[in-house]
């Protein structure tokens, strides 16, 4: 009898599809928690629909072969978090996933890259006798984050709505500023207050200044990022970031 436990470690693990592959596996618990919805994957704040997406099983892969070939090259640099690679390079750079149309696979791919980083971090730490970080990566849904901002800044919002929204908002901001690896999903926020935009600037500026890798998704090309951010910050993002363009029309609802 074999097992097919849904786990981010399934492909690299030598015990996959054996009797040892159970929810009591210490590595499974470390990544997914006892109930499959916690652990480091849960701490990363990845939406449930993307928790188990990898570069190999991503539904966006077939329609974006060029993007995925480059995404795999990018993921191969994640071992640099432990020190120089064979060519002496130490920095994991940032990546900008762009398409004008929604639904082409940007968010799916960004989540797959976060899961790849999470997996490399866990396996690499264990192999080196290190304690894996509890939150090596974080997923910031900028639209959801802005919704929380609006919830506690509208007039006459009841405290029972405003206070939890404010707590979620500032917790997400703090985590996004310091996470070793971040996905900032949908940063093309044109219709935002100056105060919210300033908070988003603070997150990105902190990461750029700290050399922390970020995967951005946006419907605005990297060259036009100055329309969203001030030009100085947009220039800093561009200097340290590769861009992958997703082709085609929306595939939402077709899977």
Output the DSSP codes for 186-222. -----S--HHHHHHHHHHHHHHHHHT--EEEEESS-G
Environment class of 31 (CB within 10 Å of its CB; exposed 0-12, middle 13-18, buried 19+): buried
Spans of all domains in the chain: 26-81+91-245
Topology of domain 26-81+91-245, per CATH?
A: Rossmann fold (3.40.50)
Q: In degrees, to the nearest 5, what angle opens at C-alpha 47 toward C-alphas 180 and 67?
A: 70
| pTM of the complete model | 0.90
Taking the C-alpha atoms of residue 38 and residue 248, their distance in angstroms, rounded to an integer, is: 35
Per-residue pLDDT for the chain (255 aa), expressed as one digit of tens each? 344 577 887 777 666 666 667 766 888 888 888 776 788 889 999 999 999 999 999 999 999 999 999 999 999 999 999 998 778 888 899 999 999 888 899 999 999 999 999 999 999 999 999 999 999 999 999 999 999 999 998 888 888 888 999 999 999 999 999 999 999 999 876 677 888 888 998 999 899 999 999 999 999 898 888 877 778 778 878 878 999 999 865 443 333
- Contacting residues for 75 by C-beta, under 8 A, at least 6 apart: 55, 113, 116, 117, 120
């Amino acid at each position: 009898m074999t097992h097919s436990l849904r786990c981010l470690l399934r492909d690299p693990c030598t015990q996959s599809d054996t009797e040892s592959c159970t929810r009591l596996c210490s590595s499974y618990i470390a990544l997914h928690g006892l109930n499959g919805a916690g652990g480091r994957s849960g701490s990363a704040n990845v939406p449930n629909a993307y928790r188990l997406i990898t570069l190999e099983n991503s539904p966006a892969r077939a329609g974006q072969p060029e993007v995925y070939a480059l995404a795999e090259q990018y993921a191969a640099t994640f071992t640099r978090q432990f020190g120089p690679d064979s060519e002496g390079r130490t920095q994991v750079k940032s990546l900008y996933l762009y398409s004008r149309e929604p639904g082409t696979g940007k968010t799916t791919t960004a989540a797959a890259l976060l899961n790849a980083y999470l997996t490399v971090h866990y396996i690499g730490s264990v192999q080196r006798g290190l304690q894996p970080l509890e939150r090596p990566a974080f997923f910031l849904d900028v639209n959801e984050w802005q919704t929380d901002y609006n919830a506690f800044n509208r007039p006459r919002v009841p405290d029972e709505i405003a206070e939890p929204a404010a707590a979620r908002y500032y917790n997400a901001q703090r985590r996004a500023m310091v996470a070793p690896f971040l996905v900032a999903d949908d940063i093309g926020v044109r219709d935002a207050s100056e105060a919210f935009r300033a908070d988003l600037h603070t997150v990105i500026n902190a990461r750029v200044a700290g050399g922390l890798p970020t995967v951005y998704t946006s419907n605005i090309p990297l060259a036009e990022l100055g329309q969203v951010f001030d030009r100085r910050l947009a220039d800093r993002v561009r200097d340290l970031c590769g861009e992958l363009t997703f082709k085609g029309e929306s595939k939402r609802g077709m899977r």
